[in-house]
Amino acid sequence: MRSLSIGSTGMLAQQLNVEVISNNIANMTTTGFKRQRAEFQDLLYQNLRRSGSQSSDTGTVVPAGIQIGVGVRTAAVYRIFEQGNLEMTDNSLDLAINGRGFFQITLPDGSTAYTRAGTFAVSSAGQIVTQDGYTLQPGITIPQNATAISINPTGEVSVKVPGSVTESVVGQINLAIFFNDAGLESQGDNLFLETAASGTPTTGTPGSQGFGGLRQGYLETSNVNPVQEITNLIKAQRAYEMNSRVISTSDEMMAQTSQLR
């Protein structure tokens, strides 16, 4: 009976759906997290009677054939890069991107990663780094005697030092954008890597055309909607139960058939 294997593909699909939803819920408070959505496709069909085939020698055509589906499969787990809320922190090295763009981060192997999480700090060498100590590109060094750090919406970093009335510019933060954000590869630690699907990055000044502006003293929260995720979780649970019921019913039908004498 095809329904046994069809039901099993449905259960596997909903199991993965629940796993995606669980990850979204687990990262509700993760800075800069972007929720994911599982996408499904129906599998190949078995043609028992093909549509459009001739049903007689006089040329009559079958208007609707017989196609039996064999289940469902996961096509993709799509990441949704919609804007999260901006939450005030009053920390001078917390930065939020209001609009499109990613911060560029130098990894220990010299490669570049990208992130929306703007939780930065100053290293012992005075460089602006992530919570894991990875350097923000381009490298910006804060003087040891700096008493205040100011970052304007266009990414210009200025510091105030004793004995100076005006602030001194020490660097410029640039952002990167991609043609297809969903094609980026998640690496964990709030980092993404460039792939062939994402395309090559275009860098530019925050606030310029196509790039979001920076907000100092703010962080972008996760874009997970708890109510929507709970609703999706209930729907996935019901779908899983219905697929398991299909398997139970098919098993009962097979048991009845085997008892025929």
Nearest to 97 by CA among 179, 224, 206: 206
Query: Under a CB-based contact definition with an 8 Å cutoff, are residues 114 and 194 in contact?
Result: yes
Task: Dump the DSSP string for 126-193.
Answer: SBEE-TT-PEESSP-B--TT--EEEE-TT-EEEEE-TT-SS-EEEEE--EEE-S-GGGSEEEETTEEE
Distance CA 235, CA 240 (A): 9
The residue written with tokens 């920076």 in the block is: 214
Which amino acid is present at 134?
Y
pLDDT at 207 over 90: yes
Residue 151's DSSP bridge partners are 157
Radius of gyration of the chain (CA): 27
Output the CA torsion sign for 186, 189, 190, 194. Answer: negative
56 band by pLDDT with thresholds 50, 70 and 90: confident
The CA distance from 118 to 93, in Å, is: 8
> Taking the mean position of all CA atoms in its chain, how far away is CA 154?
26
Res 36: pLDDT: 95
Give CA angle at 206 (203, 207), nearest 5°: 125
CB atoms within 10 A of CB 188: 6
Q: What tens digit of pLDDT does each residue of 99-135 get?
A: 999 999 999 999 999 999 999 999 999 999 999 999 9
Nearest-10 crossing angle of helices 2-26, 226-258: 160
H-run or E-run covering 48: strand 45-49
How do residues 30-40 score in pLDDT, each as one tens digit?
999 999 999 99
Domain locations in the chain?
A: 2-80+224-258, 86-220
Q: For residue 261, what pLDDT band results from cuts at 50, 70 and 90?
A: low
Q: What does the pLDDT read at residue 238?
A: 96
Q: Is the pTM of this model over 0.75?
A: yes
Phi-psi label, residue 71: left if phi above 0, alpha if psi -120 to 50, beta otherwise: left
Mean pLDDT of all residues belonging to the chain: 92
CA nearest 31: which of 112, 115, 90?
A: 115
Peptide bond into 153 cis (omega under 30): no
Angle at 83 between CA 111 and CA 188, to 5 degrees: 35
